[in-house]
Amino acid sequence: MPRGHRIHLPFDSWPAEDKTRWQAAFKAGDRFDGSGPGSHLAESSRRNRRDSYARFLGFLSANRRDLLQRPPDARVDRLIVADYVEWRRRSCGEVMVAADLHELRGALRLICPDVDWSWLLTIAKRIAAMAPRVSRKYHLVTSERLYALGIELMDHATAAAEATAQTSQADALKYRDGLAISLLALIPLRRRTLVALCVDRHLMKTGNLWALDIPAADTKTRRPLDYPIPKELCTRIDLYLERFRRRIPGADTHTALWASIQGRPMCAKAIYDAVRNRTKKAFGFGINLHRFRHAAATFWSIRDPVNVRGAKDLLGQASFGVTEKHYIMAQSRLAGRALANAVDAARK
């Protein structure tokens, strides 16, 4: 890809009609006026589609600037997409190209909702099917092990604070991270939902028990989520809010559950880094936030395979398809381990 060419065309530089159609796609309607085709999309989905379309316009600006004078639906055909694919292949692999085409199709459906873009989906699937397969190997870790680590971190922080008769900032951060790990082990929330948690908005207390009450607006699937929290963890949440959270600078200026030493709520990257660092120190390998969802599906499939479909609701997923992938992985590992034990016993 030649240097000096923009990969993305900034929104302000988009053709006027493209900008108008894009903004109209996210118009929130009422009972007298219909909503735009993208009004239901989460912010991350909007951003992905916008980035992909901006990249495509950047390609046109660098290679076929004449097409920018045409209406959006008149500048995209199979030949242009073929050229765009070859252009993208200079900077990324087949999997990324296929993902980009998928998002580009999503953007075009917002801008030109009356056009049939199914042919673009067919191309994206064909490229994805032909892409080299890279097997992903995960260290097998379950929710039970992650929960125990979180409890251990909180216990160490509490013991250190009691031994010195004062709570240090380091103790507060260790307790906070331990609480996050244990909570995620029991309730494997998506990153955006975890980051958004606020006391008295999502974290609600009734009597001596806490619960998570997450409205549809704060979830990826636009479905409300409601999780009771076990009594043991409720007691630890009380201790965090009463003793440890207030030792984090600026925690009293906001209601976010996860307070940072910057005097504001923790951002997604800060939580991600904190959890990975704690798990890497404990296990020798880091566990990212999404792996907690894998761990939950794996743990459920091992301990209660008959009712494993319930993991779909725990994970807030629209279908069992994603959950099933991890269920099969866990069962295959168990079967392989059983066979290895049988072979070993026979040799002895």
| CATH number of domain containing 327 | 1.10.443.10
Whether 4 maps to a domain, the answer reads no
Q: How many Cβ atoms are within 10 Å of 77's Cβ, its own excluded?
A: 11
Q: Decide: helix, strand or coil at residue 296.
A: helix
pLDDT value of residue 328: 41
Question: Do 66 and 151 fall within a single domain?
Answer: no
Report CA-CA distances (Å) from 254 to 143, 194, 219, 245, 265.
30, 16, 21, 11, 7
> pLDDT confidence of 42, banded at 50, 70, 90?
confident
Query: Is 6 part of any domain?
Result: no
pLDDT tens digit string along 171-184?
A: 999 999 999 999 99
Burial call 144-175: b when 16+ CB within 10 Å, e when fewer = ebbbebbbebbeebbebbeeeeebeeebbbbb
Same domain, 191 and 255: yes
Q: What range does the domain containing 80 cover?
A: 11-130
Residue 276: count of CB within 10 angstroms of its CB:
16
Same domain for 71 and 110, yes or no, is: yes
Q: Which of 130, 162, 182 is the last residue of a domain?
A: 130
Q: Say how many C-beta atoms besides its own lie within 10 A of residue 205's C-beta.
A: 15
Among 72, 95, 130, the domain boundary falls at: 130
Confidence band of 311 (pLDDT split at 50, 70, 90):
very low
- Whether 22 is covered by a domain: the verdict is yes
Q: 25 and 171: one domain?
A: no
* CA separation for the pair 100, 221 (Å, rounded): 21
Residues 165, 125: one domain? Answer: no
Asked if residue 243 and residue 280 are part of one domain, the reply reads yes
Q: How far apart are the C-alpha atoms of 172 and 161, rounded to whole Å?
A: 9
Lowest mean pLDDT among 6-15, 32-41, 53-62, 72-81: 32-41
* Residues 53 and 79 occupy one common structural domain: yes
pLDDT tier at 214, thresholds 50, 70, 90: confident
Q: What is the pLDDT of residue 310?
A: 46
Q: Which residues contact 40 (CB under 8 A, 6 or more apart)?
A: 222
Q: Do 76 and 206 fall into the same domain? A: no
- The answer to whether residue 135 is domain-embedded is no
Low-confidence winner among 53-67, 128-142, 219-233, 282-296 (lowest mean pLDDT)? 128-142
**Cα–Cα distance for residue pair 81/85, rounded to 1 Å:** 6
Q: Which contacts qualify for 173-178: CB closer than 8 Å, 24 or more apart?
A: 173/248, 173/261, 173/274, 175/239, 175/240, 175/244, 176/240, 176/244, 176/245, 176/248, 176/258, 176/259, 176/274, 177/153, 177/274, 177/275, 177/278, 178/149, 178/150, 178/151, 178/152, 178/153, 178/154, 178/278
Distance CA 160, CA 308 (A): 40
Please write the tens of the pLDDT for every residue from 91-114. 889 999 999 999 999 999 999 999
Q: What is the pLDDT of residue 336?
A: 42
Residues 20 and 157 in one domain: no
In a domain, 180, yes or no: yes
Q: Report pLDDT digits (tens) over 233-284.
A: 999 999 999 999 999 999 999 999 999 999 999 999 999 999 999 999 999 9
**Percent over 70 (pLDDT), the chain:** 79
Domain assignment present for 339: no
- pTM given for the model: 0.61
130, 161, 193 — which closes off a domain?
Answer: 130
Per-residue confidence (pLDDT) for residue 223, from 0 to 100: 73
Q: Count structural domains, the chain.
A: 2
Angle 316-319-324 (CA atoms, 0-180°, nearest 5)?
Answer: 100
In a domain, residue 344? The reply is: no
Same domain, 160 and 44: no
The residue with greater pLDDT, 37 or 276, is 276
Mean per-residue pLDDT for 64-86? 94
- In the predicted structure, residue 318 carries a pLDDT above the cut 90: no
The residue with tokens 């990826």 is: 220
Residue 226 has pLDDT above 60, yes or no: yes
Report the chain's mean pLDDT, rounded to a whole number. Answer: 83
Answer yes or no: is 343 within a domain: no
Question: Do 222 and 85 share a domain, yes or no?
Answer: no
Considering the domain architecture, whether residues 149 and 68 belong to the same structural domain is answered as no
Task: Report the percentage of the chain scoring pLDDT > 90.
Answer: 57
3-state SS string for 129-160? HHCCCCCCCCCCCCHHHHHHHHHHHHHHHHHH
